[in-house]
Amino acid sequence: MSETAIDPRELEGGLKRVIGRRMLMLFVVGDILGAGIYALVGQVAGEVGGAVWVPFLVAFVLAALTATAYAELVGKYPQAAGAALYTNKAFGIPFVTFIVAFAVMMSGITSASAAARAFGGKYLAEFVSLPTLVGALFFLALVTLVNFAGISESIKVNVVLTLIEAFGLLVIMVIGVFALVSGDGEPSRALDFHPANGAFLGVLGGTALAFYALLGFEDSVNLAEEAKEPARDFPRALFGGLAITVVIYIAVAFTATMLVDTKTLESSTGPLLEVVKVAGLSFPPKLFALIALLAVGNTALINMIMASRLVYGMARERIVPRVFAVTHPTRATPWAAILFTVALAVILVSTGDISGLADTTVLLLLFVFALVNICVLVLRREPVEHDHFRAPTWMPALGAVSCLFLTLPITGREGEVYLRAAILIGIGVLLWIVNRLIVGRVEKIDAGRIDSE
């Protein structure tokens, strides 16, 4: 067997392969469901008018192109680490690998920040009246305490939260069916297409935002080492999970604009709560708000835990300054990495709105997705001995082009989004430089000691 075909099960201390196809698909669905659909339906409506489902459908098609690249690479290299692993195998340039890993980490922080803004909005207002920023900062403080306490989500917890998130969206779909049967609402409004900047630019801008709601599927590649048959099961779970979520999203988007006018949706930080309040089918608004808070909160918590552990892992590998590898003596949690990531989140929450933070998340991951699509083509020169899914060449090629196209200003993305993303990546570059200087100085000292001996 070639080196690239090493089965992690053969390695000492490898992870146990216990996750079947159904559980893997549920994880994909759970990873995608969350803050995006609960918070951004109104923002997408502002781009295209009533036909909110159109950008979600286009975003699904584009996400599916990149999903084929992930499906091939997971089957080929059934190991955790995702985009950073594929970049390292394709190019072998440590700095590029680091930037990819750092971009993924920063996308998690910006995603958590967007979720925090959504948490502090109208959903929270059902229980307590607080300024959005105050509610968002309170939520980040809560997330930090949970993170510091050492609580990590398990697959079983993820299943429970997935069911809660899915139930909330099912409520919206049932409301939609009831409205259609009873003649309530205006179904024609869900077919109205009145983009503010013209059809092409309107759909493009809406798609760039809707893409945020479909992110998360890339996290599932980190379960590759724990899947029973990753080469066989992962592609089916990935495409099946994407298909399930896009059907849910389109149905929810259609219902939202059928029952609530576009301006109300666009101005609300809790757009789906507006749907519940005007529905002919009675459902307690406070209960739905609680479901939405759990969905949004889960998105933020998972992302902040991921981000802090990534910083900790990179510090242990001496990729960033070792100070971030410091753990608490009793809790054994990476408190320095937690403080670093939450400090960035606080700054982002204080300076950005939901759509701007979501757009920053999308921008960072679009560059990562483009590179993953390129990696799958580059790595075709290194075949492995076991069977695995192989994407039609045109799909990752088109995926790379479409991802890069969506990063362009033509989408209507504001300049501050590019500036925010550049600053975040700049922080990574600075950490890399500082660390290299420290490591280089230590190596010189050690070399001097050896010579003197």
Q: Domains along the chain?
A: 19-447 (1.20.1740.10)
What is the C-alpha separation between 95 and 317, in angstroms, rounded? Answer: 13
Instruction: Give the per-residue pLDDT at 12.
Output: 41
Q: Is residue 216 left, alpha or beta, with left meaning phi > 0 and alpha meaning psi from -120 to 50?
A: left
- Cβ atoms of 47 and 195 within 8 Å: the answer is yes
pLDDT of residue 373: 95
Give dist(CA 211, CA 350) in Å, integer.
23
Partners of 327 in the β-ladder: none
**What does the block give as tokens for 220?**
């599932």
Type of residue numbered 445: I
Closest CA to 101 of 431, 382, 339, 415: 431
HEC letters along 396-415 = HHHHHHHHHHHCCHHHCCCH
The residue written with tokens 């077919």 in the block is 191
Q: Tens-digit pLDDT profile for the chain (453 aa)? A: 333 344 444 434 444 566 667 777 877 787 788 777 888 888 888 888 778 888 889 999 999 999 999 999 988 887 766 788 888 889 988 899 889 988 988 888 898 888 888 888 888 888 888 888 888 898 888 888 877 775 444 445 556 777 888 899 999 999 988 888 888 878 888 778 777 667 777 888 888 888 888 877 777 776 666 667 777 888 888 898 889 988 999 999 999 998 988 888 888 888 898 999 888 778 898 999 999 888 887 777 778 877 887 788 777 777 777 788 888 777 667 888 889 899 999 999 988 788 888 889 999 999 999 999 999 999 998 888 888 889 999 999 999 999 999 999 888 888 999 999 999 999 989 988 887 887 655 444 444 554 455
Is the separation of the CB atoms in 348 and 193 below 8 Å? no
Measured between alpha carbons, how far is 71 from 230 in angstroms, rounded to an integer? 9
Question: Could you identify the residue written with the tokens 């495409």?
Answer: 239
Residue 437 burial class via C-beta count within 10 angstroms: exposed 0-12, middle 13-18, buried 19 and up: exposed
Quick check: 70 and 87 in contact, CB under 8 A? no
Closest CA to 323 of 438, 426, 444, 433: 438
Q: Which of 312, 313, 322 is nearest to 439 (CA)?
A: 322
pLDDT computed for residue 156 by the predictor: 54
Q: Which amino acid does the sequence have at 218?
A: E
Alpha-carbon gap, residue 359 to 44, rounded angstroms? 11
Angle at the Cα of 260 (from 191 to 194), degrees rounded to 5? 40
Q: What was the pLDDT predicted at 19?
A: 67
Q: Where are the alpha helices (DSSP H) in 228-353?
A: 230-259, 262-267, 271-278, 285-316, 335-351
DSSP secondary structure code for residue 427 in this structure: H
Helix (H, G, I), strand (E, B), or coil: what is residue 183?
Answer: coil
CA atoms within 13 A on the CB side of 67: 24
